């Protein structure tokens, strides 16, 4: 299937007085229409930054220093701010972690929905309001005809996130970037929001980039998953393969740290150490100081993503020529 979103060798830098910090390096992936790609990793891995770069919301002095971002075959990373504003909302929707930061507390949710709809679609105020009510209904807001005139503070956290999803889908975008959309919600509401997002996007054929640190959410929602570490993709592949048959030592560590209902373990696995700072990323594989299977080549050369069956992993353990030398 032809990719809707195609990210090629994306590189993001932050110039500072002490030098340039490389925050994202050689990020490449694609998302097909109707597909959900999960992006996971520890804090500081570059998950949210990747989403911000795609939708053109990098905080200065951050900048895209290399690579390309294509949406439906059209390059969008080099668009002007004015052109990107037309793409954002109409072709790309965004759902952020805290709905209170996405909603204006001074305006009713109806006004915010109607303005968004009229900005991107050729509808009258009455038509836009009718569409806004339908969107609220589709996201599970009860008594939508009355609630549309309420302010954000009159909604619970779960209901506010439903309003944000309605805003993201208001102009029927091709892609939705959801950045930790359930982190601020309790577990029962998390499940409802994830089910809602997945069903709505399946109905509209919308592609989703789901940024989260929760592998449980990924297992329930995503079709494929990209595991990030220190600004690079460590492993990418179908969810079932990455969860049950992880190939990268970092992914193996992540999966080993998750408790299982069916297993009786006195102690969970643990990855020693911490994510390196941007100004202290080690040479070679960035994970090598924490890896239990580190080899000399890991400290000298950085591995590219290597085919490991249905998934790909950036690890020298899967490079036949290196392993034969190591033996």
CA distance 26 to 290: 22
The predicted structure's pLDDT at residue 198: 83
In sequence order, which residues have a C-beta less than 8 Å from that of residue 187 and are 6 or more positions away? Answer: none
Q: What is the CATH number of domain 5-222?
A: 3.40.50.300
What are the tokens at 308?
């490991």
Task: Determine contact, residues 269/256, Cβ cutoff 8 Å.
Answer: yes
Selection from 88, 21, 18 nearest residue 53 by Cα: 88
Whether the bond between 3 and the residue before it is cis, its omega within 30 degrees of 0, is no
Domain map (residue ranges) of the chain: 5-222
Output the pLDDT for position 227. 97
Q: What is the mean pLDDT of each run of 10 residues along the chain (327 residues)?
A: 90 93 96 94 92 93 96 95 91 87 93 94 95 92 96 92 91 92 78 81 88 86 95 96 94 84 72 91 95 94 93 90 52
Find the helix or strand (DSSP H, E) in which 252 lies.
helix 249-256
Supply 196's token pair: 């809602």
Secondary structure element (H or E) that encloses residue 251, with its range: helix 249-256
- pLDDT tens digits for 241-294? 999 999 999 999 988 877 776 666 677 778 889 999 999 999 999 999 999 999
pLDDT at 187: 78
pLDDT at position 157, please?
86
Q: What is the pLDDT of residue 1?
A: 59
Q: Would you state the pLDDT for residue 320? A: 62
| pTM value > 0.95 | no
Rounded Cα distance between 260 and 210, Å, is 23
Q: How many residues does the chain have?
A: 327
- Going by C-alpha positions, the residue among 152, 147, 145 that lies closest to residue 106 is 152
Residues in Cβ contact with 14 at an 8 Å cutoff, skipping those fewer than 6 apart: 20, 21, 23, 61, 62, 63, 278
What is the reported pLDDT for 322?
54
Rounded Cα gap, residues 145 and 130, in angstroms: 9
Angle between helices 109-120 and 157-168 (to 10 degrees): 10
CB 177 within 8 A of CB 93: yes
Please give the pLDDT value at position 276.
93
């Amino acid at each position: 299937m032809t990719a809707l979103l195609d990210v090629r060798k994306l590189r993001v830098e932050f110039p500072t007085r002490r030098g340039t910090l490389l925050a994202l390096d050689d990020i490449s992936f694609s998302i097909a229409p109707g597909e959900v790609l999960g992006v996971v990793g520890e804090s500081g891995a570059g998950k949210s930054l990747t989403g911000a770069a795609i939708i053109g919301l990098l905080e200065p002095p951050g900048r895209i220093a290399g690579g390309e971002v294509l949406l439906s075959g059209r390059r969008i990373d080099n668009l002007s701010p004015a052109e990107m504003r037309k793409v954002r909302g109409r072709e790309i929707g965004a759902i952020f972690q805290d709905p209170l930061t996405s909603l204006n507390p001074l305006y009713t949710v109806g006004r915010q929905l109607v303005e968004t709809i009229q900005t991107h679609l050729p509808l009258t105020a009455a038509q836009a309001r009718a569409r806004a009510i339908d969107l609220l209904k589709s996201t599970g807001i009860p008594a939508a005809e009355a609630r549309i005139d309420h302010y954000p503070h009159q909604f619970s956290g779960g209901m506010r996130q439903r309003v944000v999803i309605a805003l993201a889908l208001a102009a029927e975008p091709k892609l939705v970037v959801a950045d930790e959309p359930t982190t601020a919600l309790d577990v029962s509401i998390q499940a409802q929001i994830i089910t809602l997002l997945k069903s709505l996007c399946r109905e509209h054929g919308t592609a989703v980039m789901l940024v989260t640190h929760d592998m449980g959410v990924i297992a329930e929602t995503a079709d494929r998953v990209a595991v990030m570490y220190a600004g690079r993709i460590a492993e990418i592949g179908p969810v079932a393969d990455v969860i049950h048959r992880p190939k990268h030592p970092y992914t193996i560590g992540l999966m080993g740290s998750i408790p299982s209902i069916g297993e009786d373990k006195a102690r969970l696995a643990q990855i020693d150490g911490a994510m390196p700072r941007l100004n202290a990323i080690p040479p070679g594989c960035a994970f090598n100081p924490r890896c239990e299977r580190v080899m000399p080549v890991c400290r000298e050369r950085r591995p590219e993503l290597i085919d490991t069956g249905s998934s790909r992993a950036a690890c020298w353990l899967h490079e036949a020529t290196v392993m034969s030398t190591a033996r």
